[in-house]
Amino acid sequence: MSADYQKDGSIAVITLNNPPVNGLGLSTRRAVVELLERANADASIRAIVLTGAGKAFSGGADITEFGTDRATQEPHLLSVIKALELSAKPVVAAIHSVCMGGGLELAMGCHYRVAAPGTAVALPEVKLGLLPGAGGTQRLPRLLGLETALNMVVSGEMVKSEMLAAIPGQKLFDQLTASAESLMAEARAFAEKIADQRPLPLVRDLPCKHPQAEAYLQFARNMVKGMAKNFPAPGKCVDAVAASVGKFDAGMQVERELFTQLMFTPESRALRHLFMAERAASKIADVPSNTPIREIRSVGVIGAGTMGGGIAMNFLNAGIPVTILETKQEALDRGVAIIRKNYEAQVKKGKLKPEKYEERIALLKTTLSYDDLKQADLIIEAVFEELGVKEIVFKQLDAVAKPGAILASNTSTLDVDKIAAFTQRPQDVVGMHFFSPANVMKLLEVVRGKHTAKDVLATVMQLAKKIKKTAVVSGVCDGFIGNRMIEQYSRQAGFLLDEGATPQQVDKAIEKFGFAMGPFRMGDLAGNDIGWAIRKRRAVERADMKYSRTADKLCELGRYGQKTGAGWYDYQAGKRDAIVSPVVTQMIEAHRAAEGITPRKISDEEIVQRLVFSLVNEGAHILEDGIAGKSGDIDMVYLTGYGFPIHRGGPMHYAGEVGLINVVQAMHRFAKNPRDDAAFWQPAPLLARLAAEGKTFS
C-alpha cells in the first residue's frame, strides 16, 4: 500500500507514502480511499488528517504512470476527491514542502487545510500543455479569488504558502503553522478543534465572485493570445477558470471537456514527451544511478577565449572556485574583463545583486602556470580547435593534475579518444561540449570516449545539474549529435538557394514552422567562417560530398556575418536587424547562371520538410550508430541547443507525429531531385524499418 495509517487518540492520520514525491499513482489512490473507509468505519475516530511522508505532501500525478493504463484505472483522482468530500468525518490536509498539481487538487478536496510555511504550491499542468483536470480550475478560484487562481493556472508557476496565506480573504489555508516542524502537532490540534463541527465545509459550495469577471476574463484572454501563440493550453486554462464563475458541477464539466481536448493536442504530446525526455537524458543505460561520484570542489579552465570565460561563469555561479589558465597575461586580462562585463550587465538589469557579483568574482583566480591546477578536481580545456594544441595541453595536464582529476575537452569536432590518448589516464578524459554563449545556453553534450570511466560520466552528469545545464550523452563522432545533424540541415539550406529559394524565404519558412532563427540568420550570428572552415576540411576528407558553393562564395566576399557587418544579409552598424542584400541576391543569381541552373519556385512546405527531415534522417543514423542512446536525447539536444520549436517536441518526436512512413515517402521524392544528394536521402535503415512497422522512434 502506498499510504500509511496511524491512530492517534481520536484522530486518524493517513500518510501518502510513494517516494520520492508521493505521486498519486494507482496504489496510492486506492490506499487513500481504503484508509478513508477504515477511519470512517472506526467509531473511536472523530477526525482525519491527510499528509505526505518525506519530501512532499504530494507532487501530483505519478509520472511513471504516464501513458500507461494505470493512469486511467479507478479510483481516478476525481473519485478519490469525491471520497474525501463524502467522508462523514472531517478531513484536514496537513500540507508541507511540495503541494502541486493533483496534490493540490487532493488538498482542495479536503474539508480543511493546514499548511507549513515554505511549501511550494502550484498547478503546473499548463507546462505539459494541459490544465488541472481534477477540479483545480474550479476549486482554486473559490479559495483564492479569480485573479490569483487564474495567474497560477495559466502560468503554472509555484507560489510559496506564506504568500498565499497573506492574501486578504483567502480560504485556501485555514491555518499556516509556525514552522514546518510543528505541522503535524498543529494539524492534529486543529482536527481536534473542528472534529464535531457540522456541516462539513466543502469548497464546491463556495461562490466564486469577481466585481468585473467578464471584463477581467476578456483581458486575460487577450494577454494569453499574445503570449502563447503556439500553445492552446493557456487559452483553455482561461476558459476553464472562467467557468468557475458559475455553478460548480457545470464548471467541472467544462474543465473535463477542455482537459480531454488538450490531452489529444500535438502540443501537449510534445511537451509531455520533452518532460520525460529531459528526465531520461540524465540516465545512462549502463551507468547505474548509485555509481559513486567524484567530488568537484574546484575547477580549472584552460583558455580564456569565447568559450573559456562563459564556461568559468557557470561554475562561479554555482559557488565553485575556478582557476583560468592562459599562455599570456593579456589574454587572461581580456577574458576576465569579459566575465566582469557580463556580470556587470546582469547587475545593471537587476538580475544579480552587487554583493553576489563580488562573491562570484572572488571565486575566480587566473594563472599562467600549470602548477596552479594541481589541486583542481575538474579541468576543462577550451583552447584553439587544433589537435596539435590540444596535445600540448593534455600532455601538460597529465603531468600536473592530481590522480582522479577529471580532464575534459570542450572540442566541438575533434576526436575525444585521440585527445584521451595524449594522456596516461584515458579513463579520466571526457568531452564537455558547451554551446556559445556558454554561460547562457542550456545544452551540454557530454562526450563519452572509448575509455571514459563510468564514475566520470556519472560525476559530469550530476555536475551538469548543479550548473543548471541539460546534459545529453553523445558518443565520439565528428560533430557529436547536434553539429553532425546541423551539417545536413545546412547542406539542404544551400541546395535550396541553388534551386531557386532566397535566404529570406528559407529563413521565413522555417521560422514560421517555429525555429527561433532560420539557417541564414543563424549563420550570420554564429559567423559563416566557422562552416567554411568545416567545409574546407570536408573537401579533403570527403571529396565526394556534394554541397552548394554559395556559402563559400559569400565567405570569399568577406561576408562572415554580423561581426563583419555583412553576411547573408546586410546589417546597419550596431544593429542586428537582417536587411535583404542586393549583393547576395546577385551573387546567388550569378552562381545559378554559372552552374546552368534554371531557378524554380519552391514552396515553404518543401523548404520545411527538406530541412527538418534532413535532421531526422541523420538523427536515425546517429541512433543506429549508438552515438545517441535514445531518440529523446536527440530531441533534447535540438530543443536546448538549436532553437527547435518546443511545441513540435524535437525532430525525432515530430517525425513520429508526421508519421515515419510519410517522412520516408518525402525522402524518396527528394532523392529524385537531381540538384540534391540522392545518397543522403536513402532513409537510414532504422527509419525505414520503423516506418514499415508503423512505429515511431520512441
Q: Can you tell me which of 261, 367, 436, 564 binds ligand NAI, judged by CB under 6 A?
A: 436
Total interface residues for ligand NAI by CB under 6 A = 25
- Report the distance separating Cα 571 and Cα 565, nearest Å: 5
Choices 151-159, 203-211, 319-327, 484-492; region in contact with ligand NAI by CB under 6 A: 319-327
Bridge-based pairing of strands 429-434 and 112-115 is unpaired
How far apart, in Å, are the Cα atoms of 114 and each of 24, 60, 188, 355? 20, 18, 10, 37
- Report the distance separating Cα 199 and Cα 216, nearest Å: 34
With respect to ligand NAI, which residue has the nearer C-beta, 245 or 338?
A: 338
| By the rule CB under 6 A, 460 interacts with ligand NAI | no
CB-closest chain residue to ligand NAI: 305
Q: Can you tell me which of 362, 392, 516, 533 binds ligand NAI, judged by CB under 6 A?
A: 392
- Report the distance separating Cα 359 and Cα 343, nearest Å: 11
Catalytic residue, candidates 34, 37, 85, 125: 125
Q: At 223, give phi and psi (nearest 5°).
A: -60, -50
| By the rule CB under 6 A, 331 interacts with ligand NAI | yes
Q: Give the DSSP H/E element, type plus range, for residue 432.
A: strand 429-434
Catalytic residue, candidates 65, 74, 105, 344: 105
- Report the distance separating Cα 520 and Cα 530, nearest Å: 13
Q: Can you tell me which of 3, 146, 281, 325 binds ligand NAI, judged by CB under 6 A?
A: 325
What are the b/e assignments for 264-274, b being 16+ CB within 10 Å?
Answer: ebbbbbbbbbb
| Residue 424 exposed, middle or buried by CB count within 10 Å (0-12, 13-18, 19+) | exposed
Q: Give the DSSP H/E element, type plus range, for residue 419.
A: helix 416-420
Q: Can you tell me which of 303, 426, 649, 683 binds ligand NAI, judged by CB under 6 A?
A: 303
| By the rule CB under 6 A, 327 interacts with ligand NAI | yes
How far apart, in Å, are the Cα atoms of 417 and each of 111, 285, 463? 62, 21, 22
| By the rule CB under 6 A, 326 interacts with ligand NAI | yes
| By the rule CB under 6 A, 400 interacts with ligand NAI | no
| By the rule CB under 6 A, 528 interacts with ligand NAI | no
Choices 79-87, 258-266, 289-297, 384-392; region in contact with ligand NAI by CB under 6 A: 384-392
| By the rule CB under 6 A, 407 interacts with ligand NAI | no
Q: 432 with 460: CB under 8 angstroms?
A: yes
Per the listing, cell 563510468 goes with: 454
Q: Which of residues 225-244 bind ligand NAI (CB under 6 A)?
A: none
Choices 135-143, 192-200, 285-293, 297-305; region in contact with ligand NAI by CB under 6 A: 297-305
Instruction: Identify which of 234, 213, 216, 215 has the alpha carbon closest to the alpha carbon of residue 225.
Output: 234
- Report the distance separating Cα 157 and Cα 234, nearest Å: 13
Q: 695 with 620: CB under 8 angstroms?
A: no
125 part of the active site: yes
User: At 539, which amino acid appears?
Assistant: A
| By the rule CB under 6 A, 412 interacts with ligand NAI | yes
Choices 17-25, 280-288, 382-390, 549-557; region in contact with ligand NAI by CB under 6 A: 382-390
Choices 185-193, 284-292, 325-333, 552-560; region in contact with ligand NAI by CB under 6 A: 325-333
User: At 585, which amino acid appears?
Assistant: T
In DSSP terms, 160 is beta-bridged to 120
| By the rule CB under 6 A, 304 interacts with ligand NAI | yes
Bridge-based pairing of strands 91-95 and 47-52 is parallel
With respect to ligand NAI, which residue has the nearer C-beta, 213 or 389?
A: 389
| By the rule CB under 6 A, 302 interacts with ligand NAI | yes
Q: Which three cell numbers stand for residue 440?
A: 547562457
With respect to ligand NAI, which residue has the nearer C-beta, 153 or 460?
A: 460
| By the rule CB under 6 A, 301 interacts with ligand NAI | no
Instruction: Identify which of 281, 327, 313, 310 has the alpha carbon closest to the alpha carbon of residue 410.
Output: 310
Choices 273-281, 388-396, 445-453, 537-545; region in contact with ligand NAI by CB under 6 A: 388-396
| By the rule CB under 6 A, 306 interacts with ligand NAI | yes
- Report the distance separating Cα 297 and Cα 303, nearest Å: 20
Task: Provide the minimum distance between the beta carbon of 476 and ligand NAI in the complex, in angstroms, as a whole number.
Answer: 15
Mark out the alpha helices in 282-376 (DSSP H runs): 306-317, 329-348, 354-362
With respect to ligand NAI, which residue has the nearer C-beta, 34 or 385?
A: 385
| By the rule CB under 6 A, 419 interacts with ligand NAI | no
| By the rule CB under 6 A, 385 interacts with ligand NAI | yes
Task: Provide the minimum distance between the beta carbon of 307 and ligand NAI in the complex, in angstroms, as a whole number.
Answer: 3
| By the rule CB under 6 A, 439 interacts with ligand NAI | no
Q: Which three cell numbers stand for residue 363?
A: 571565486
Measure CA 287 to chain center: 22
Task: Provide the minimum distance between the beta carbon of 305 and ligand NAI in the complex, in angstroms, as a whole number.
Answer: 2
Task: Provide the minimum distance between the beta carbon of 583 and ligand NAI in the complex, in angstroms, as a whole number.
Answer: 26
| By the rule CB under 6 A, 562 interacts with ligand NAI | no
How far apart, in Å, are the Cα atoms of 534 and each of 45, 128, 327, 497? 75, 39, 26, 20
In DSSP terms, 90 is beta-bridged to none
With respect to ligand NAI, which residue has the nearer C-beta, 176 or 471?
A: 471
- The torsion region of residue 558 among left (phi > 0), alpha (psi -120 to 50) and beta comes to left
Q: At 323, give phi and psi (nearest 5°).
A: -115, 125
| By the rule CB under 6 A, 163 interacts with ligand NAI | no
Q: Can you tell me which of 383, 612, 620, 628 binds ligand NAI, judged by CB under 6 A?
A: 383
With respect to ligand NAI, which residue has the nearer C-beta, 358 or 386?
A: 386
Task: Provide the minimum distance between the beta carbon of 58 and ligand NAI in the complex, in angstroms, as a whole number.
Answer: 41
330 part of the active site: no
- Report the distance separating Cα 302 and Cα 394, nearest Å: 10
Task: Provide the minimum distance between the beta carbon of 407 and ligand NAI in the complex, in angstroms, as a whole number.
Answer: 14
Q: Specify the DSSP class assigned to residue 126.
A: G
| By the rule CB under 6 A, 305 interacts with ligand NAI | yes
| By the rule CB under 6 A, 382 interacts with ligand NAI | yes
Binding mask 135-154 for ligand NAI (x = CB under 6 A): --------------------
Q: Which of residues 482-521 bind ligand NAI (CB under 6 A)?
A: none
| Residue 468 exposed, middle or buried by CB count within 10 Å (0-12, 13-18, 19+) | exposed
| By the rule CB under 6 A, 368 interacts with ligand NAI | no
Catalytic amino acids? 105, 125
Summarize as ranges the residues that interact with ligand NAI (CB under 6 A): 302-308, 325-327, 331, 382-385, 389, 392-393, 410-412, 433-436
